[in-house]
Amino acid sequence: MIPDEEINRMRWASRRGMLELDLVLEPFVTARYAALDASDRKRFQQLMRCEDQDLFAWFLAREQPADEELAAIVSQILEFARTAPAHR
């Protein structure tokens, strides 16, 4: 089980101050973070250290991360964001 502290820390980290990012990241953390395996949690934590401009480009699918680890978690988040809320 993942400590509530970690989930809260990632929820806080997902609040980027850019509405477009907040609308993608915070719901993902709330709905999926606790179910991620250790590798994906590590990838998400690495993603939260990236610059907002990069995140914005990745989540608008204008670019893809060069790092395969980041690309994997970005793909999961995009899949989540494109799924209707009733089916998440």
Write the CATH number for 17.
1.10.150.250
Q: What is the pTM of this model?
A: 0.93
Mind listing the pLDDT tens digit of every residue in the chain (88 residues)? 899 999 999 999 999 989 999 999 999 999 999 999 999 999 999 999 999 999 999 999 899 999 999 999 999 999 999 999 888 8
pLDDT tens-digit profile of 64-81? Answer: 999 999 999 999 999 999
Q: How far is CA 73 from CA 14, 26, in A?
A: 14, 14
Q: What is the pLDDT of residue 67?
A: 97
Instruction: State how far the Cα of 49 lies from the Cα of 47, in Å rounded to an integer.
Output: 5
Q: Which domain holds residue 22?
A: 4-87
Instruction: State how far the Cα of 88 lies from the Cα of 80, in Å rounded to an integer.
Output: 7
- For the chain, the straight-line distance linking the first and the last C-alpha, in angstroms and rounded, comes to 21
Number of domains into which the chain is organized: 1
Both tokens assigned to 38: 């250790």
Instruction: State how far the Cα of 69 lies from the Cα of 43, in Å rounded to an integer.
Output: 6
